[in-house]
Amino acid sequence: MPAPKPITVKVYGRISYPNIFTPRKTEQPSDPQNYDATFLFDEEAQKMEGFKKLVGAVKTQIDTYFKGKMPEGSWMPIRKGEEKVDNDGNYRDGFGPGIRFVSAKNTLKPVVVGKTKNPLTGKFDPLTDPSDLPGGYYVNAMIDVLPFGHDAESLKFSKGKKGIKLKLGPIQLVKEGPRFDNRKSAEEAFDDINDGGTVDDVDNLLA
C-alpha cells in the first residue's frame, strides 16, 4: 500500500501543555523526542470551519484505512474535556463539559509566529521563548491527520498499534488569554517607576 496521504487542516483553539520550543523529555534516552501541544475547542470553536474539517478528516482517514471503524483499543483523536481530571477529580484548567480537545506532536520543531507580518520583511516574526505562547493563549494551528498501523510495514514501526495520529505543524498566536499557570506578566505585576525612583519605591512594589 502506498504511503498514506495526510489531510491538513487549520484549526483555531486554546493551547494547553505546549512543548513547542523545546521537546518533551522522554523516559529513555533512546526514545524519539517530540514537540507537542494540546488544543482545546469550546462550543464556539467547534462551530468554526476548521474544527468541522478536522472532524471530517478523521472520519475520512478511518473510512479509508480502517473500513469505517476505529481499531479496537485505540483512542479517538478528538476527545471530550470531561476526560481530563486531576488526582482530586477536578477538571484540569480549560477542560470540562462541552470542551473537545486533541493532541498533536512532531519530531520536528514547529514554526511558531506572532499575529501580524513584519512590514519590512513581509513575513511573520517568529516567537522563540516559551513566555511568548504559554498555555491558555489562543492560536491557529496546522495539523496533519494520518493513519498508523494501517498495513504490515506501518505496524512494524507502530509496534503493533493502529489508529489515527495528529502531526503538529506551524502555530500562530491569535490572542492572549488567561494563562493556565496563573502567572502574571511584568506589565500586570508592576507599576511604572518614574525617574528618580528610590529604593523605597521598589520596596513598596514588592510589599
- Residue 185, pLDDT score: 61
Does pLDDT of 195 surpass 80?
Answer: no
Q: Give the pLDDT band of residue 129 (cuts 50, 70, 90).
A: very high
CA distance 143 to 136: 19
Q: What is the pLDDT of residues 60-116, one digit of tens each?
A: 999 999 999 998 888 899 999 999 999 999 999 999 999 999 999 999 999 999 999
Q: What is the 3-state secondary structure of 48-91? A: CHHHHHHHHHHHHHHHHHHCCCCCCCCCCCCEEHHHCECCCCCE
Query: pTM for this one?
Result: 0.85
- Residue 201, pLDDT score: 52
Does pLDDT of 198 surpass 60?
Answer: no
In this structure, of 47-51, 96-100, 198-202, the range with the lowest mean pLDDT score is 198-202
- Residue 186, pLDDT score: 60
Does pLDDT of 15 surpass 80?
Answer: yes
In this structure, of 8-12, 27-31, 80-84, the range with the lowest mean pLDDT score is 27-31
Q: What is the pLDDT of residues 139-186, one digit of tens each?
A: 999 999 999 988 767 766 777 789 999 999 999 999 999 999 877 666
**From residue 122, how far is each of 83, 119, 175 by CA, in Å?**
42, 5, 20
CATH 2.40.50.140 corresponds to the domain 7-206: yes
DSSP string computed for 7-52: EEEEEEEEEEEEE-SSPPP-SSTTSPP-EEEEEEE-TTGGGSHHHH
- Residue 196, pLDDT score: 56
Mean pLDDT of 124-138: 96
Does pLDDT of 119 surpass 60?
Answer: yes
Backbone torsions φ then ψ of 125, nearest 5 degrees:
-75, 135
- Residue 154, pLDDT score: 73
With H, G, I as helix, E, B as strand and everything else as coil, classify residue 144.
strand
- Residue 136, pLDDT score: 97
Residue 40 contacts residue 16 (beta carbons within 8 Å): yes
- Residue 204, pLDDT score: 55
Alpha-carbon dihedral sign for residues 165, 99, 142, 21: negative
